Structure 1
Amino acid sequence: MIYPLKAIIEGTRLVFEPGLRRYVIGPIVVNVLLYGGTLFYLFENFGGWLDYGMRQVPEWLTWLEWLIWPLLVAALALIVFFTFTLVSNLIAAPFYGFLAEKVETRVTGRPPSDERGLVKSGVDALGRELVKLGYILPRMAALFLLGFVPGLNLITPFLWAAFSAWMMAVQYLDYPMDNNQVGFTDMRRRLRARWWPTLTYGACMSVATWVPVLNLILLPGGVAGGVLLWDRYYRPMVPAIR
């Protein structure tokens, strides 16, 4: 039995083994550049966003400002986190796809069931990221707008946290599934059917993304961990009927 946290730890060890390290350099460089830019932008603008959000609180809820303020901080931080994650993964997708392929070959002794060439796999990986964006962005927008509804905005940080776990599972477990030609709809079906390891893994990856510096190695490690979970929980499932 391999648990999600154990899979991420084992995956992090794997990606720095000889023969796999080369596939980690690209994602690390991408994340360093985006992480630095995101922190700079956040420090420059976060105070203004927070002031604007507090001005939207209706007068009849002013007595709850002590509670609304930290919830608003959490919601804004989660929105920035989502944006950073989406952009980072869009750029790093081809690297992560190749890494997942090599890890699967190393761990299982057989390559993914994918007959696409190297170039086509890279192009298709970018296309798959756009499909994910089309799935994730409308749901992000709905949660964002919900944050402006008085009363309901008190629960939005908790909804963002739950959605974060699901989104990260969709993002990182998709690499081995895409390599094995599992369609996006079928991929989500498999994740829902194995909801406990799915959400646990997604929550662990969400936390990993927030850890400064360490996240640079935990994210590629999470990709490798996703391969281990794919082989344990999701590969044995019957494919969806087309």
Structure 2
Amino acid sequence: MIKINGSPISAPEALTLGFRLVLQPDLRVFILVPLLINLVLFFILTAWLLHEFGLLMDGLMGWLPGWLSFLGSILWLIAAFLLIFVYGYSFSIISNLIAAPFNGFLAERIEVKLTGVAPPPEPLSAMIPRTLARELLKLWYFISRGLLLMIGLLVLSFIPILQLLTPLIAALWGAWCMAIQYTDYPADNHKTPFKQLRGQLMDQSMGSFSLGGLIMLGSMIPLVNIFVTPIAVAGATVFWLRDINGRPLNPEALLPLKR
């Protein structure tokens, strides 16, 4: 049974605090490389989105009989939603796969700033391959479960009334993936097993889905998605420390953020 625990308000608070944290001078250096990666991905994926959307609409309009032409605007909206969803999802997954070591460093520095205690030390030569392997583990989880979900949604789409639930289920899955993706950085710094992290997130399900949903929404908006990654890493670190592990945050670290 899925427990509905946690507060959905905690996620916006965590992301707001994360946004303020990454603006501090001593943390800006850790967002430069991910930002450059996101810029390159933005131009590549945006060009791909526009190209694929044009091809998709040409195909749909050519397939649609003339007497159903009034459905063109509805198909346009559905196709646009699906492509933007895939765009945001792909943008986040690819950028984090490339920038995983930098995101881990950022999560570590934020934890030190907020708690005064660093995660257990680890040599760089061991940390980089381990974090990349962790990203591949997450990617396999997303793909394997995502394919099963896609099959289920395809079946559901043929059932009247219930087919209206397919966009909601897809959105919840995307939010869940984003919550896992970003809270995994501070969790992995402590070598928390991947299965254990998923259980912790489910124990804070309302906050987790809220956090992931906000990150996914930001990833779907062109230009905004360039800046989402460092803010999401920082906000998810706050969420993991405060809401999942119940660790108190250092008041002295928060004082400059309230001015």
Shorter-chain TM-score: what band? 0.7 to 0.9
- The alignment covers a number of residue pairs equal to 234
Q: Structure 1 residues 62 and 131 mapped into 2: Cα distance closer, same or farther (>3 Å)?
A: farther
Residue 63 of structure 1 and its aligned partner are, at CA, apart by 8.8
Query: Residue 12 of structure 1 contacts residue 218 of structure 1 at CA under 8 Å; is this kept in 2?
Result: no
The DSSP-based 3-state class of the residue aligned with 1:19 is helix
Query: Residue 107 of structure 2 contacts residue 237 of structure 2 at CA under 8 Å; is this kept in 1?
Result: yes
Give every structure 1 segment of 4 or more consecutive aligned residues whose post-TM-superposition deviation is greater than 6 Å.
Answer: 54-58, 61-65
Other-structure match for 1:89: 96
Residue 183 of structure 1 and its aligned partner are, at CA, apart by 0.5
Could you state the TM-score of these two structures normalised by the residue count of structure 2? Answer: 0.80
Residue 122 of structure 1 and its aligned partner are, at CA, apart by 1.9
Query: Residue 50 of structure 1 contacts residue 73 of structure 1 at CA under 8 Å; is this kept in 2?
Result: no
Residue 16 of structure 1 and its aligned partner are, at CA, apart by 2.2
Other-structure match for 1:104: 111
Q: Distance in 2 between matches of 1:62 and 1:156?
A: 24
Q: Distance in 2 between matches of 1:66 and 1:180?
A: 50
Q: Structure 1 residues 41 and 63 mapped into 2: Cα distance closer, same or farther (>3 Å)?
A: closer
The residue identity in structure 2 corresponding to 1:225 is G
Residue 213 of structure 1 and its aligned partner are, at CA, apart by 2.6
Determine what percentage of the aligned residue pairs are the same residue: 33
Other-structure match for 2:203: 193
1:127 corresponds, among 114, 133, 139, to 133
The residue identity in structure 1 corresponding to 2:11 is P
Query: Residue 30 of structure 1 contacts residue 92 of structure 1 at CA under 8 Å; is this kept in 2?
Result: yes
Residue 106 of structure 1 and its aligned partner are, at CA, apart by 1.0
Query: Residue 173 of structure 1 contacts residue 230 of structure 1 at CA under 8 Å; is this kept in 2?
Result: yes
1:119-198 to structure 2, matched below 5 A, reads 119-145=125-151, 149=155, 151=158, 154-198=164-208
2:85 corresponds, among 78, 81, 90, to 78
The DSSP-based 3-state class of the residue aligned with 1:115 is coil
Query: Residue 75 of structure 1 contacts residue 157 of structure 1 at CA under 8 Å; is this kept in 2?
Result: no
Other-structure match for 2:122: 116
Other-structure match for 2:252: none
Unpaired runs of 5+ residues, structure 1, are 238-242
Other-structure match for 2:215: 205
Q: Distance in 2 between matches of 1:9 and 1:216?
A: 17
- Cα RMSD of the aligned pairs, angstroms, is 2.8
The residue identity in structure 1 corresponding to 2:140 is G
Q: Distance in 1 between matches of 2:127 and 2:187?
A: 13
Residue 229 of structure 1 and its aligned partner are, at CA, apart by 1.0
**Structure 1 residue 4 corresponds to structure 2 residue 11:** yes
